[in-house]
Structure 1
Amino acid sequence: MKALVALILLVQLPILKAVPAAPPAPLGCDDPESEAAAEVAVSYINGHSHHGYKFALNRIENIRVLPQGPNNDIIFLELDLLETKCHILSPTPLANCTVRSFTEHAVEGDCDVKLQKLDGKLSVLASKCHSHADSSEDVVRLCPDCPLLARLNNTEVLTTVTAALSAHNSKTTDAYLRLLEIGRANIQYHPVHTVFVEFAVAATNCSAAEAKDNAEACQLLPDDQSNFGFCTASEAIRPLQDLQVNCQLYGHQPGVTYSKGQGISAGLQPSVVQGHTNHNLRLSHNNPVASESSSSEFPSSILAAKSVAKRAIAEVAQHDKVPHPVGFVPPPPPCPGKIRHFKI
């Protein structure tokens, strides 16, 4: 009898071993692993942007993980970002940068990022980004008198920037400042016609006093001495004229440079900002790894991730049709994740 029982167990053993393990549950957009990957991705995007402002994470829209082998995964992220008040040259850590409010005519960034997680370490392989300002209609609907974004090559904007920088240089005893780029501009028409501008600057090898004789001879400091800064200004045009300007230099930041090959004398890069209201991440984010071949992986991967999310939502909906105990709370869909600030 004992022999018969042993024989039955031996016969069943291979069958039990042959049962495959259940596949891992899809990673949710708000899972700690997803947020860690998003943090690395956002840091990379800001670190490789050369114009405009730093962006902060607003929402993880999608995530897909493709196992490559032991301790080796490829991760595809779809991120929703929002523009902050910190210029890309600012030394302020992103965690301390304020996200612009909706009524300041917010700018949203959309990024697809491909990462690798190898032996627990995350690294970015490729990325694709673009950004756009919210529609004027949305802002006016909530705040009729709020100033809207103006084109960066608007005549009134250029006039105000020129006047503001000239006013600062005429009053300071420190270094003469040159314009690097206009970062943002808003124009308010009621109750007072006012132009608001923000622009990045850099110190030259001249003092403001020395520049009075020949400003054109003043050159930007070399990289090992560079000193970048940021100015905000407002100019009331009607009914009374009034100009207010505030400039701050950050001090030398080792390793921080500005892309000098794009028209510093004018402070504008026609290919980047002419006719536009904001610096586009698609144009300012220079990632040599994101070639056409590598970036072409994103569409199908992101679509697949969206299918996973939709399937999970459908499964939850189907699960809700089944009677549950009192107090049962259905699990949230894995994606998209929570909104950290506001949705544009």
Structure 2
Amino acid sequence: MDKSIGTLLLLLSLLSIHTVCEGFALAPVELAPIPCNDKAVEKLSRLAATYINEDRNDGYKFALNRIANVHLHAQGPAGNVYYLDLDVLETKCHISSPKPWKRCDVRPFMETQIAGNCNTTILHTPEGYSYLYSYECTLVPDPPEKLQQTCPTCPLLLPVDSLQAVNAARLTLASYKRQSMLGAGLGVKKITRAAAQAVPVKASFVEYTVQECPEGVTEKGTCQRLTIESDTETAGFCAGSVHGEVHPEVHVACEMLKVQNVDILRPVQPQGHDLPQDPVIPTFPPVIDDPVNDPQPVPFDPTLPPVVEPAPIDPMPTQPLPFDPAVVLNPSNPLSSSSSESAEGLGNRQQPPSAADPFDSSSEEIGGPVALRPPFNFRYQRPDRKRRQALMENTPSHNPIFLSDFPSGPSPFRSCPGPSRYTTV
């Protein structure tokens, strides 16, 4: 008896272990690296750069430089999770610019390039949709010592809150206000980049965003006070430079991202004398030769062609020519009609029309009777879709699993890292 109970317990334990193993069999496939030159990987990498630029709200847009490493976490019916290690470069387009990152110019090394790396996680579903699950980007500018060795006269980066950067932004924005009607009420919102050089001429370079200032601007060029009714969104992006100290030479270029509150679209109203509404056509009285008010006859000009008199109308009625009507109705079937667009002989036209297909009707021509239309209560009967909806409702849902730590390590494939799209120092 004890032996049978022990055997039963052993069978139950084996059954439970088998059930647990079946549960683990449904777990995702183990993480594996894949080549960096795979077509699907290249497409997802470009899509990831687009998603990252759309999600960010500060700084400059990133351009994809190369694919450093890729890991695939296949999860069966839940789809595939891609872990993309991407190298990016900073462009000259602000993040609020509507231009796509593929059309933005990468900042050259003379202006201190900023390169970085983005760890991106993307889910690709079996239906063909891709979703950005997470990303983390780290950017590092080129060291100034390295830039000085390559280009000794190139400008070096400055802190964006330095006095030199603030003065350069104020001078360039004031110059833009004098040149353009759109910058009358603008103020500096945020300085995004600043640089300076000492040789051959002392110069400052600054880039900043602008916004509308309904309450005026301060001495630094920023808004005096922002109210709830005022527009606090970014109105544009400006880049300028100041060369010299005594009589500085200022250059500035701004890209307006929205229409300002400037009255430039109102049509110009006419000024001065009131113009008549309807034009007056001058008339001249006829020439009178005698007191009887008889008009002078028009002299005959032999160069003009002779006037042709119309032919007299014959009082006898004429028989109308036989014609083929556009649409002929069939008395036996009031909804059927036949069209006479084909070129037939005169003898064939006089024959009575044959019964046509009820759906072959052409009653839009002029000159013939119009065929009867469907009744007003006619409604299109949609097919029953309950069966398809039931299948969609019964489809089980699968939730993907994302790793908490981004996978790292060298790739066994020779295609990783991929080739660089841009040249760096």
Q: TM-score, normalised by structure 2?
A: 0.53
Partner of 1:91: 98
What is the CA–CA distance in structure 1 between the aligned matches of 2:187 and 2:77, rounded to whole Å?
A: 53
Which structure's relative contact order is higher, taking Cα pairs within 8 Å and 6+ residues apart? 1
Partner of 2:416: 335
Partner of 2:408: 302
Structure index of larger Rg:
2
- Provide, for residues 197-217 of structure 1, a one-character-per-residue CA deviation record: whole Å limited to 9, x for no partner: 111112345899xxxxxx736
What is the CA–CA distance in structure 2 between the aligned matches of 1:60 and 1:41, rounded to whole Å?
A: 11
In the TM superposition, what are the counterparts of 1:250-289 in structure 2 within 5 Å?
Answer: 250-251=257-258
Partner of 2:74: 67
Partner of 1:147: 155
What is the CA–CA distance in structure 1 between the aligned matches of 2:129 and 2:48, rounded to whole Å?
A: 13
Judging changes above 3 Å, is the alpha-carbon distance between structure 1 residues 243 and 101 closer, same or farther for their aligned structure 2 residues?
A: same
Judging changes above 3 Å, is the alpha-carbon distance between structure 1 residues 176 and 41 closer, same or farther for their aligned structure 2 residues?
A: same
Partner of 1:179: 188
For the 8 Å contact 2:216–2:224, the answer to whether it is kept is: no
What is the CA–CA distance in structure 1 between the aligned matches of 2:225 and 2:107, rounded to whole Å?
A: 38
Which of these residues, 219, 242, 250, is aligned with residue 243 of structure 1? 250
What is the CA–CA distance in structure 2 between the aligned matches of 1:107 and 1:220, rounded to whole Å?
A: 36
Judging changes above 3 Å, is the alpha-carbon distance between structure 1 residues 25 and 295 closer, same or farther for their aligned structure 2 residues?
A: closer
In the TM superposition, what are the counterparts of 1:163-242 in structure 2 within 5 Å?
Answer: 163-174=171-182, 175-205=184-214, 216=224, 228-238=235-245, 240-242=247-249
Task: Classify the secondary structure of the residue corresponding to 2:224.
Answer: helix
Which of these residues, 104, 114, 129, is aligned with residue 111 of structure 2? 104
Task: Classify the secondary structure of the residue corresponding to 1:186.
Answer: strand
In the TM superposition, what are the counterparts of 1:153-164 in structure 2 within 5 Å?
Answer: 153-164=161-172
Displacement of 1:334: 2.8
Judging changes above 3 Å, is the alpha-carbon distance between structure 1 residues 220 and 62 closer, same or farther for their aligned structure 2 residues?
A: farther
Q: Give aligned-pair identity as a percent.
A: 32
For the 8 Å contact 2:61–2:91, the answer to whether it is kept is: yes
Task: Classify the secondary structure of the residue corresponding to 1:75.
Answer: strand
Displacement of 1:142: 1.7
For the 8 Å contact 2:117–2:138, the answer to whether it is kept is: yes
Task: Classify the secondary structure of the residue corresponding to 2:408.
Answer: helix
Partner of 2:60: 53
- Provide, for residues 260-311 of structure 1, a one-character-per-residue CA deviation record: whole Å limited to 9, x for no partner: xxxxxxxxxxxxxxxxxxxxxxxxxxxxxxxxxx78421xx123xx2xx1x3
Judging changes above 3 Å, is the alpha-carbon distance between structure 1 residues 227 and 27 closer, same or farther for their aligned structure 2 residues?
A: same
Partner of 1:130: 138
- Provide, for residues 116-148 of structure 1, a one-character-per-residue CA deviation record: whole Å limited to 9, x for no partner: 111122111111112111111222222111112
Task: Classify the secondary structure of the residue corresponding to 1:216.
Answer: coil
Task: Classify the secondary structure of the residue corresponding to 2:48.
Answer: helix
What is the CA–CA distance in structure 1 between the aligned matches of 2:52 and 2:32, rounded to whole Å?
A: 29
Judging changes above 3 Å, is the alpha-carbon distance between structure 1 residues 251 and 35 closer, same or farther for their aligned structure 2 residues?
A: same
Judging changes above 3 Å, is the alpha-carbon distance between structure 1 residues 54 and 220 closer, same or farther for their aligned structure 2 residues?
A: farther
Letter in 1 for 2:408: I
What is the CA–CA distance in structure 2 between the aligned matches of 1:242 and 1:116, rounded to whole Å?
A: 52
What is the CA–CA distance in structure 2 between the aligned matches of 1:222 and 1:129, rounded to whole Å?
A: 34
